[in-house]
Amino acid sequence: MWTDPIVEEIHKIRQEHAAKFNYDLRAIVRDYQRRQKLSGKKIVSFTRKSEHPVAPTERYEKQELVEA
């Protein structure tokens, strides 16, 4: 099976980073957040922007149609 050396390198880096924190997901996330803050760059955005925002009443009406 063919392996991509770039993907393999990323997996190795992620594995080493996780091992430093004993695979504790909260500690890993805290470290990435700390790195993000120190860099001054936005690395991760948890906001999802919709091209076509739906008003709350429209969402409710659509949900009623699906459930009916």
Tell me the three-class secondary structure of the chain, residue by residue: CCCCHHHHHHHHHHHHHHHHCCCCHHHHHHHHHHHHHHHCCCCCCCCCCCCCCCCHHHHHHHHHHHHC
Residue with more model confidence, 66 or 44: 44
Tell me, yes or no, whether 4 lies in a domain: yes
pLDDT digits (tens, 9 = 90+) for 2-19: 889 999 999 999 999 999
Tell me, yes or no, whether 15 lies in a domain: yes
Tell me, yes or no, whether 31 lies in a domain: yes
**Total count of domains within the chain:** 1
pLDDT reported for residue 23: 96
Confidence bin at 61 (pLDDT 50/70/90): low
pLDDT reported for residue 47: 72
pTM of the model: 0.54
Structural domain containing residue 31? 1-42
